[in-house]
């Protein structure tokens, strides 16, 4: 299958990053969002990152202009009617994602592959909401998308080998490294990462050590580039809580129980870097 036209749904940090890497790889990209302001901000972020790549010598000015020229924005989902691939990167909520996929199922050509960037929700359930479950797949990019090389490709139980192969090939075209993952809660990345972050929060909750010292142990002792609590703030504590809840519900195991301190911070609106306060304070 040849993929030429792509739509990315969601112009936030993840969606804009995904749109950027597709455009850099030579594909025509429609970036969709309900909000024109979000689209404008997403496009401005892409332009800034591309210009920075030129300044650092990682890209020529000609390539930068060509990549930016392959991008267009739209608030109308019906503009997916000529797309070969749609990558959804909206809020991590099953009802919202199912609604988007049901609409795409009616709008897109019969050959189109529908991918979701979900970090934890079951692909099988999303696929079952469409009339083309064999053409639905998970394509979980890492943040920040233009920098991180990994893409988890998650097969729903219905996903065909042809669909998987097309997305694996596309991932390599994006100069990313694909890893095949079966459809289990949290996949690989968040099944391992989030319990570690949750345990780091427990050590603060129980008074074992301060956030700064917990992060220092993991950076200096385990050679992690970023401490788990700094990373949690970067991801968003509400997102961390949501994924822990998905793991807890999906496996029914108490080891995935979200730390009460995590719940308390989220209720306080202390969501991390995006809200100005989490385990650390941000300007």
51 known member of a binding site: no
Catalytic residues, by residue number, are 119, 140, 152, 190
Contact 270, 220 (CB under 8 A): no
34 known member of a binding site: no
Three-state secondary structure readout of 117-158: CCCCCCHHHHHHCCCCHHHEEEEEECCCCCCCCEEEEEECCC
13 known member of a binding site: yes
97 known member of a binding site: yes
14 known member of a binding site: yes
Handedness of CA 96, 93, 9, 44 (dihedral sign): positive
12 known member of a binding site: yes
Could you give the CA distance from residue 240 to residue 78 in angstroms, rounded to a whole number? 32
Tell me the pairing of strands 28-32 and 71-74: parallel
223 known member of a binding site: no
250 known member of a binding site: no
Neighbours of 174 (CB within 10 A): 20
89 known member of a binding site: no
Could you give the CA distance from residue 189 to residue 23 in angstroms, rounded to a whole number? 26
Sheet holding 113-116, edge to edge: 71-74, 28-32, 5-9, 85-88, 113-116, 136-141, 150-155, 177-182
Phi, psi (deg, nearest 5) at residue 223 = 65, 30
15 known member of a binding site: yes
10 known member of a binding site: yes
143 known member of a binding site: yes
Query: Which residues carry a binding-site annotation?
Result: 10-15, 33, 92, 97, 119, 143, 274
Query: Which residues carry a binding-site annotation for NAD(+)?
Result: 10-15, 33, 92, 97, 119, 143, 274
């Amino acid at each position: 299958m040849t993929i030429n036209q792509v739509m990315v749904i969601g112009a936030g940090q993840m969606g804009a990053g995904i749109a950027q890497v597709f455009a850099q790889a030579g594909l025509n990209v429609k970036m969709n969002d309900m909000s024109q302001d979000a689209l404008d901000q997403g496009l401005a972020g892409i332009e800034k990152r591309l210009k920075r790549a030129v300044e650092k010598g990682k890209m020529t000015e000609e390539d930068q202009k060509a990549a930016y020229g392959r991008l267009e924005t739209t608030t109308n989902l019906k503009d997916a009617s000529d797309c070969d691939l749609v990558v959804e990167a909206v809020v991590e909520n099953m009802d919202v994602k199912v609604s988007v996929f049901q609409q795409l199922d009616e709008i897109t050509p019969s050959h189109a592959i529908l991918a979701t960037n979900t970090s934890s929700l079951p692909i099988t359930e999303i696929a079952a909401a469409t009339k083309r479950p064999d053409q639905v797949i998970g394509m979980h990019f890492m943040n920040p998308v233009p920098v991180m090389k990994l893409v988890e490709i998650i097969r729903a139980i219905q996903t065909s080998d042809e669909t998987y192969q097309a997305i694996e090939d596309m991932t390599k075209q994006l100069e990313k490294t694909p890893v095949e993952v079966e459809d289990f809660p949290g996949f690989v990345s968040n099944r391992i990462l989030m319990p570690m972050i949750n345990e780091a929060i427990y050590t603060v909750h129980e008074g074992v050590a301060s956030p700064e010292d917990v992060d220092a142990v993991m950076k200096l002792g385990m050679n992690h580039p970023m401490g788990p609590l700094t990373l949690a703030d970067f991801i968003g504590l509400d997102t961390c809580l949501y994924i822990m809840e998905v793991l807890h519900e999906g496996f029914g195991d108490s080891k995935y129980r979200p730390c009460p301190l995590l719940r308390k911070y989220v209720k306080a609106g202390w969501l991390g870097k995006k809200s100005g306060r989490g385990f650390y304070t941000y300007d």
